Amino acid sequence: MEFLPRLVFIIIIGLTIWIIAKRIRFISRNIQLGLPQDRTDHKDQRWRNLLLVAFGQQKMFKRPIPAILHLFIYIGFIIINIEVLEFIIDGLFGSHRFFASIIGGDGLYTAALNFFELLAILVLISCVVFLIRRNVLKVNRFEGEEMTRWPKLDANIILMVEIVLMIAIIVMNATDSILQARSPYYTAAGPFYFSGLLVPLFENMSTNTLIIIERFAWWFHIIGILAFAVYVTYSKHLHIFLAFPNTYYGDVKPKGEMRNMPVVTTEVKNMLGIPLDTPAPDHDAPEAPADIARFGAKDVTDLSWKNILDAYTCTQCGRCTDSCPANQTGKKLSPRKIVMDVRYRAEEIGRSLDVGGPGAEDGKALFRDYITEEEINACTTCQACVEACPVLINPLDVILQIRRYMSMEESSSPQEWQIMFQNIETSFAPWKFPPSDRFTWADSLKNKSE
């Protein structure tokens, strides 16, 4: 490779790294808008979640067909990047098939490239099927109020880009295999099965034409990969990278266990004269700030950093909303929308801070400006959304924190709830009868049996 193309390649690599680093700083700062939260306990369970849920995609296989297709794309993404490493080395040093020159162009190298091509074909087929599912079959869970033009376009862009990139690899290998016999620059690398099927389309072309096609496919693929890496940081496909930390820091407590609010626990202990260092701290609860601004959550700054990490990890697959009984019965609640709104609000605050704006003090808030009271009240706290998520996102945690804000700060819970709260406070039960009468019903049954 001549000096000028190498210089251009180095500039492109440097620019890509700079953009991605800038975006990482932006996302990291936005995640840290949330309250501190200790997720360092139960390390064995967290590593197990990382291996089974993130790497093993355990929860995806509740729906086998999309899981298998997604697995093809996932494995292809990881392994084909080994070939991308060779692209980068060739681009930086002007070599051709660097690994082939190290380990030999036949044998192991040829077998590896044929395996990569197989994965490329599987990725291509999977992406085509996913496009059909989204745009022709219109699978219900890909629809919804929150799935506006951008989320739908985002998914289609990624799928189409992956298809084009896989085609570029096959075309490059097909023309390269012909040029190996015509030009000393092209390292002999043995026959490629899948790209070899396309060789008859190119073998009658001149050497110069083949070089142009091969070089165009090479540049198109590597620039496409780099552009894809930048685009992912703006896309829902950021879960490609964030799924790993998100599953590691996921909730390891039983799903039915509701966390106490540290600020309320502190107040109660102070009133009762109980030392604040007992019992053991709740590692899954956000840490109580020294100066309590409010109870519950009104904005993303009242949530924990893990809630915001959840939002950036969301795949928008719709499994949570598809499993939600409130949504299935026509209620406005969509757990997916709750999580997406957290990300949109965090991004809005982040952009404001970047230009010296007011940040979270802009007169807007997550609750009511993004998430409505109707959505929050519709939740049954059944945990179906939590169970369904393939990357351990917890939409219910956000809903409960906003509910606490509604109840403790605004007293805006539904009237039926207010009556229940009052009964619990005065009678220690949801029903309005004194504790002394709690077992009257049992006495009546005893009298009947006698």
For residue 49, how many other CB atoms are within 10 A of its CB? 22
C-alpha distance from residue 236 to each of 141, 192, 288, 350, 376 (Å): 16, 34, 31, 17, 24
The answer to whether residue 90 scores a pLDDT higher than 80 is yes
Mean pLDDT of 164-172: 93
Which pLDDT value is given to residue 445? Answer: 77
The answer to whether residue 321 scores a pLDDT higher than 80 is yes
- What is the end-to-end Cα distance of the chain in Å, rounded? 99
Nearest Cα neighbor of 239 from 340, 311, 142 is 311
Mean pLDDT of 98-104: 79
176 compared with 427, residue with greater pLDDT: 176
Measured distance CA(144)–CA(407) in Å, rounded: 28
Interacting residues of 190 by C-beta distance below 8 A, sequence separation 6+:
105, 106, 107, 109, 110, 113
The answer to whether 374 and 242 are in contact (CB under 8 A) is no
The answer to whether 297 and 303 are in contact (CB under 8 A) is yes
Topology classification of domain 262-413: Fumarate Reductase Iron-sulfur Protein; Chain B, domain 2 (1.10.1060)
Domain ranges of the chain: 3-31+63-241, 262-413, 423-450
Mean pLDDT of 15-36: 96
User: Of the given ranges (31-45, 76-90, 278-292, 409-423), which has the lowest mean pLDDT?
Assistant: 278-292
pTM recorded for the entire structure: 0.86
DSSP 423: H
Which amino acid makes up residue 237?
H
Mean pLDDT of 219-234: 92
The answer to whether residue 266 scores a pLDDT higher than 80 is no
Which amino acid makes up residue 217?
A
Which pLDDT value is given to residue 429? Answer: 83
The answer to whether 171 and 219 are in contact (CB under 8 A) is no
Which pLDDT value is given to residue 46? Answer: 95
Rg (CA), the chain: 28
At residue 276 the predicted structure's pLDDT band, cuts being 50, 70 and 90, is low
Interacting residues of 131 by C-beta distance below 8 A, sequence separation 6+:
156, 159, 160
Residue pointed to by tokens 């719709």: 318
Nearest Cα neighbor of 376 from 384, 366, 361 is 366
Beta bridge partners of 35: 304
pLDDT by residue (tens digit) across 173-206?
Answer: 999 989 988 888 888 887 889 999 999 999 899 9
Exposed, middle or buried by CB within 10 Å (0-12, 13-18, 19+), for 206? exposed
Q: Which two tokens stand for residue 57?
A: 């995609």
Which pLDDT value is given to residue 412? Answer: 85
At residue 275 the predicted structure's pLDDT band, cuts being 50, 70 and 90, is confident
Which pLDDT value is given to residue 291? Answer: 56
Give percent above pLDDT 90 in the chain: 61
Mean pLDDT of 330-355: 96
Which pLDDT value is given to residue 336? Answer: 97
DSSP 302: G
The answer to whether residue 391 scores a pLDDT higher than 80 is yes
pLDDT by residue (tens digit) across 278-316?
Answer: 555 555 566 655 555 678 999 999 999 999 999 999 999
Phi, psi of 195 (to 5 degrees): -65, -25
Which pLDDT value is given to residue 233? Answer: 94
Cis ω for the linkage preceding 279 (within 30 of 0) = yes
The answer to whether 99 and 86 are in contact (CB under 8 A) is yes
* Mean pLDDT score across all residues of the chain: 88
Q: CA geometry: angle at 179 spanning 176 and 184, to 5°?
A: 115
Which pLDDT value is given to residue 393? Answer: 96
The answer to whether 73 and 346 are in contact (CB under 8 A) is no
The answer to whether 321 and 385 are in contact (CB under 8 A) is yes
Measured distance CA(235)–CA(246) in Å, rounded: 17
For residue 149, how many other CB atoms are within 10 A of its CB? 7
The answer to whether 37 and 304 are in contact (CB under 8 A) is yes
Mean pLDDT of 401-423: 87
User: Of the given ranges (108-122, 221-235, 429-443), which has the lowest mean pLDDT?
Assistant: 429-443
User: Of the given ranges (7-11, 298-302, 351-355, 437-441), which has the lowest mean pLDDT?
Assistant: 437-441
Measured distance CA(86)–CA(89) in Å, rounded: 5
